[in-house]
Amino acid sequence: MFEARPYQTAAIDFLTKPIRTRALIVAPAGSGKTAIAAQALSRICVPNTRVAWLANTVEQVDQGIAAIARTNGADGVDFLVACVAGQPDVSDRDIIIVDECHHTPATSWARLAAQAKGVLWGFTATPDSGDAERDAIFGRIFGGPEHRHTVPRAEVERAGSVLSGVVFMHDLDAQGQFDLEINTRTAEELKKAVAKFRFVPRHELEKRIRWRITQEQIHGSEARNQHAVQTAKDDVAAGHSVLVLVNSIEHGEQLSQQIEGSIVLTSKLSKKKRAEAIAAFRCGDLKVAVSTQLADEGLDVPRASSLILMAGGRSAGKLEQRAGRVMRPHGEKEFGIVHDYLDRGAVFAFAQARARVSTYQSLGYDVKYLKG
C-alpha cells in the first residue's frame, strides 16, 4: 500500500484540489514523480476515463505501468501508456500525463501535447533549459508560474527519499596539454567547413568543430580511460554498484572490455536483454553497468552507489539527472559518490567542468579535488 510522504501529498493536492487542466510538477530525481502522478490520477479518475501516460523510454513506460498498478480507485479506467517516439494517437484522451516533460518543446512531444483537450499534467526535475525560446514554448504548453508546483529538494532529503552526495573531481591533465592539437585540427577543419556550409555563421561552425575535437581528445585520453577503469574496479572491491556514463556506444564498449563482468546498456540491446541486464544490476548480480544516454533519466536503480561520469558537458539539468542515479536510498547506503574529471588539458572542457562543479555545489553535494 502506497503511503504518500508530506511533500508528495502537497503535490497531489496541488493537482487535484481543485483539478487543474494545466499543471507542472517540478520535483528532484528520486522524489517519486511517477507515484505522485499515479496517486493524483486515482483521485480524479472515474470509470471510462481515458488516460494517456507518455514517456521517453521503454523503461519509463514500464515504471508508469507499475506505478498505476500500485494505486487504488482506477478500476474501469482506459490507460494508454506509451513512448512519445511511437507518436500514439492521444486526441481522444481525457487526461494526458507527460513524464520527463522538459522534452515537450521538441516537435514530436509538442505535437502530442497539442492534442490535449482536457487535463495536461507534466512532471520533471529540470524544467528550465536556459534557452529563452525553448523555455517560452514550455511555458505556453503548461502555463505560467501559477500552474507550477515545485517540491523543495530539502524536503525530499529530510524525508529520506534522496541521499547526500560526495563528488570527487579528478585532476589528471597538465594545463592546456591538448589545446595545441585541438587548435591545429580546428583551424584545418574550419577552412573546409566554411566553404561547404556557406550559410552557417563562421563562429557557430568553429564552436561545433572545436567541441567535437575536444571530446575526441578527452575521451581518447589513455590516462583518463585507465583511471576510470581502475576506479570502477576499486569501487566494486569496496562494495559499490558502479554506473559508468559515456557519450558514445564505442567509448562504452572500449571501457567495458577492460572491466570484467560489466555490460554496456544501450538502445542497441533488445528490450528483453536490456531488461535482464537492468534487473541483474538492481539485484546486485551485475556490479558495473556502462551506459549512454539511456541512464540520463528514468533508469531506476537505487542500488547504484557510484557514478563515473565520462560524459561531461555543462547542462545543469542533465547533470542533476545523471548524479541523481546514485543518490537514491538502498539498504545501508549512506550517500552517493560521483567521480568526475576536471579536464584542465583542454580549455573548452575545463570551462564545462567548472560549470559542473557549480551545479554540484548548488545541489548541496560535497566536492573534493583529487590530483592524479
pLDDT tens, N- to C-terminus, the chain (372 residues) = 568 899 999 999 999 999 999 999 999 988 999 999 999 999 999 999 999 999 998 888 988 998 898 875 567 899 999 999 999 999 999 999 999 999 999 999 999 999 999 999 999 988 888 788 998 999 999 998 999 999 998 899 899 888 999 999 999 999 999 999 999 999 999 999 999 998 999 999 999 999 999 999 999 999 999 999 999 999 999 999 999 999 999 999 999 999 999 999 887 788 888 889 989 999 999 999 999 876 666 678 899 999 999 988 888 888 988 998 899 999 989 999 999 999 999 999 999 999 999 999 999 999 999 997
Say yes or no: 138 and 49 in one domain: yes
Range of the domain at 360: 164-177+222-371
Say yes or no: 108 and 193 in one domain: no
The tally of domains found in the chain comes to 3
Say yes or no: 41 and 168 in one domain: no
CATH number assigned to the domain comprising residue 334: 3.40.50.300
* 1 is a domain residue: no
- Give the single-character DSSP code of 294: G
Cβ atoms of residues 207 and 200 within 8 Å:
no
Say yes or no: 168 and 275 in one domain: yes
- Contacts by residues 142-145 (CB-CB < 8 Å, ≥ 24 positions apart): 142/22, 142/23, 142/24, 142/101, 142/104, 143/22, 143/23, 143/24
Say yes or no: 18 and 150 in one domain: yes
Say yes or no: 151 and 74 in one domain: yes
Say yes or no: 232 and 189 in one domain: no
Cβ atoms of residues 187 and 171 within 8 Å:
no
pTM: 0.85
Say yes or no: 102 and 185 in one domain: no
Say yes or no: 293 and 342 in one domain: yes
* 353 is a domain residue: yes
Lookup: cell for 43:
483521485
Say yes or no: 144 and 204 in one domain: no
